[in-house]
A and B are shown apart, each in its own frame.
Chain A
């Protein structure tokens, strides 16, 4: 079985700290483990959040799990060694962490989302509008940013409207116009955030609608140049 990761978290220099160190050391030696451990002080900015401190005294974690607190005292070497052994055994049974759920959460989902979202040119403009619109209010250069936002929205809306005209479908045009009005209204009047989000969602929806493949529509494309790829 591998060497467990033992962590001792303490808040202040107190008599119990040395007692805890002694107990941890004896416990590891009794289990024929290399008597080494990691300590964290409660106010350490780099201390992992999973490790909680206790004003009552040090706490011991084994492989990330709470194994012992000061409430139980640091005099019972046998029980403490048993606690280390149990958590160490549990870790060896459960195998390594970083399970499939973690990979699904951090790799598969974002990848799938990225693969599924529309990637039309107008969509990128819409994404940029949405992602950059957050947090604009407190900016010092608000006036300039608002102007830029207005221009970008007009360009984006104009593009959607132009495509709608080409496809003879007025739905996206009206939708994007409404969304633009909502965003600009909120931006210039500092109204409700809800209105802004509603406007953003409307623009986004209009962009997707506009980019969606049309069964009957015809778009004249420029002939693809020979020897090049898209």
Chain B
């Protein structure tokens, strides 16, 4: 029974090797001709790059399969290290992450991958990092940025990056956890498939991969639109005309510029991707005109609901195939109909990232890679265009009938005068206002508080519940890979809450229902409320509730249990005030060398990578009474683990590896800190809608304690038979309000999202 701890520690260290110097070394070696690998700057949207990375991942699969079980992981890591001198470091990291995520034995290393904030902190550095924080680098980059931008305003604030003109949404686009989510999602769902564990040379695609590509990005757009509306900005306009200058530019900031990324000036349209004559065979250029042709081909196909390039035309019925065709044509029609179809429809989404990334100067734009793409405002414009294909396909389908809805009832009302929706059966309660024992048995507390004789009581004005969710921006310091430089970073958080939903089953048979929870902003946009548009609804949760015949059930669910978020979702805003620095496994080793008792080091080991208060570190070195650290760690152990690695699984047995597979997906999901949109200090009106569907039809399953079922699915099959985003996956026969009112198994109510004053580390 080998011990996996050293292997995990090795993986952790390998990923933590500072990337900037590695990138510089590789670039220099490539320039000197010492490297055969054609990949200079790795792009996860470049089909050839991903293909190459997957070949390496497949090699890792084969090595792991060929070695003895106890040696498999070590053999893979040996090969990984051997390739470091000849392969692009980012590409190699991607290949290893694909292996860890998808190979049965790699699963044991899932939690050994440090988060992006530790692995590649430069990539999540804020674009607006001030010059005092990056003074060491200031002299190197001033001329480049000032010369490139060339505008008076840019010169006046030479180190302030972000959108130009600014829209105040950098905090959302540059959220380190959102970027990590996007990056990791593309590891879970590589555009060219994953190596087949049974035959690594043969790529396979995951269940409903194209559909989840569409849906996950559609949800990112819905959330982004909600943030824009809250700031009084219009919803994102799709970048459908490829010749149109992109109105908003983006400068990724000093730190990313130094990593080789370029800034994209405002008013520059997408550009041709130049060819590469050095590759074998030479890569031809990709022209915007070609891009337009493929866009038009896709539009024609979706309008006709048939792949017209195939003879006879192949009916377009599978949304997943449409998604895969639009994304990269890996699992799309190209996989079925061959090269002609692949060329005809192309790899529209991926190449869009390419044509926009080359529109930057002094290096590829952040759109070039998944770890940084969502920082750029044009990401959302581009993806809105991609999402239009999804919506067009959906709109061409049959409107929802809801004829298979379960016989349950949730009470609600609608005031046509104020357009306000209300329901006494949908309630919010802040976690900190629950009795101490409630969290251990939430259902019992909910039943006692809101069920039984109080079933008909309207609690909406009760102090027990809240009609406003609260969020806050938290500021802290991000330590860069040199472990010296720190830059201020901010991210959203919210006050943890619990949903309560009362559901009545008047029928004479027991029913199991899937409760689907969505929210949308109730803000006027384009002449109508955003909540009247099915594409504006944000999925918040999806879970199963079982009701006996005639039962009136009070279901309760913590926001942290949401099916869309990465697990575990724990965060306490009051403790976030005390965030200080991070300490890594290496730092822990240093502390041990400096005299930290071995027993204490062992206790600290599970917390490496977590954000720990300065007071804790100070206590470690200044107080002779080491035992005070224990209680402190108990306090801090619950801090923002969404960004931090989880404690590795307890079992170290190779025999148990198969059981650990499921935990792989715990690393996938929307970040908990962004679960609730930010709102404004004055409060932004939102509407929450609850839809009950028959679980016997849905069969939503899976391990709910694990990752995001909604955005990442499960290992083999997506755990919901209905289309993703149901019921907003298809048009409604009537306005959404009327549909909800006319279906007893649905309900909605309005509430507010209010942003409380910012929290800083100095508070």
Contacts and interface: CB of A to CB of B under 8 A. Distances in A.
Interface of A: 2-3, 10, 13, 17-19, 21-22, 25, 34-41, 44-46
B403 A45 contact: yes
B521 to A, nearest CB: 22
Given A13-B735, A34-B424, A21 B409 contact: no
Contacts of A3: 456
A46 B403 contact: yes
28 contacts: A2-B456, A3-B456, A13-B734, A13-B735, A13-B738, A18-B416, A19-B416, A21-B413, A21-B414, A21-B415, A21-B416, A22-B416, A25-B413, A25-B414, A25-B415, A34-B411, A34-B458, A35-B413, A36-B412, A36-B413, A36-B424, A37-B413, A41-B742, A44-B403, A44-B742, A45-B401, A46-B405, A46-B407
Contacts of B407: 46
Contacts of B413: 21, 25, 35-37
B734 A36 contact: no
Contacts of B417: 22
The size class of the interface chain B forms with chain A is: 20 to 34
A34 B454 CA distance: 13
Contacts of A45: 401, 403
B423 interface: yes
B240 interface: no
Contacts of B741: 21, 39
Interface of B: 401, 403, 405, 407, 409, 411-417, 422-424, 456, 458, 734-735, 738, 741-742, 744
Contacts of A25: 413-415
A92 to B, nearest CB: 15
A132 to B, nearest CB: 28
A46 B744 CA distance: 10
A13 B741 CA distance: 12
A5 to B, nearest CB: 10
Contact of A22 (B405, B415, B424): B415
A41 B734 contact: yes
Nearest to B405: A46
Given A36-B411, A37-B413, A17 B738 contact: yes
Given A22-B417, A25-B413, A45-B403, A34 B738 contact: no
Nearest to B411: A36
A34 B423 CA distance: 10
A45 B403 CA distance: 6
B385 to A, nearest CB: 31
Contacts of B411: 34, 36
Contact of A40 (B409, B423, B424, B742): B742
Nearest to A23: B416
B513 to A, nearest CB: 15
Nearest to B414: A21
B415 A39 contact: no
B742 A39 contact: yes
Contacts of A38: 409, 744
Nearest to A43: B733
A174 to B, nearest CB: 48
A13 to B, nearest CB: 6
A19 to B, nearest CB: 8
Chain A CB within 10 A, most for which of B403, B423, B424, B741? B741
Nearest to A47: B742
A104 to B, nearest CB: 19
B86 to A, nearest CB: 65
A13 B738 CA distance: 8
Contacts of B414: 21, 25
Nearest to A12: B734
Contacts of A18: 416
Query: Closest 3 CB pairs between A and B?
Result: A18-B416, A36-B411, A39-B742
A17 B738 CA distance: 9
B47 to A, nearest CB: 47
A21 B741 CA distance: 10
B456 A34 contact: yes
Contacts of B412: 36
Contacts of B735: 13
Contacts of A39: 738, 741-742
Nearest to A38: B744
Contacts of A21: 413-416, 741
Contacts of A44: 403, 742
B505 to A, nearest CB: 15
B691 to A, nearest CB: 15
A38 B417 CA distance: 19
A168 B424 CA distance: 76
Nearest to A19: B416
Nearest to B456: A3
Chain B CB within 10 A, most for which of A22, A36, A38? A36
A38 B408 CA distance: 12
Contacts of B458: 34
A41 B413 CA distance: 16
A25 B407 CA distance: 24
B732 to A, nearest CB: 11
A175 B742 CA distance: 59
Contacts of B422: 35
A115 to B, nearest CB: 24
A22 B422 CA distance: 13
Nearest to A42: B742
A36 B423 contact: yes
A18 B407 CA distance: 26
A13 B401 CA distance: 16
A6 to B, nearest CB: 10
Nearest to B734: A13
A22 B416 CA distance: 6
Nearest to B744: A38
A13 B416 CA distance: 13
A44 B416 CA distance: 22
A25 B423 CA distance: 13
Nearest to B458: A34
Contacts of A36: 411-413, 423-424
Contacts of A46: 403, 405, 407
B398 to A, nearest CB: 14
Contacts of B423: 36
A156 B698 CA distance: 48
Nearest to A2: B456
A155 B188 CA distance: 67
Nearest to B735: A13
Contacts of B401: 45
Contacts of B415: 21-22, 25
A41 B401 CA distance: 11
A36 B403 CA distance: 22
Given A25-B413, A38-B744, A41-B742, 12 more contacts: A17-B738, A19-B416, A21-B413, A22-B416, A34-B411, A36-B411, A36-B412, A36-B423, A39-B738, A40-B742, A45-B401, A46-B407
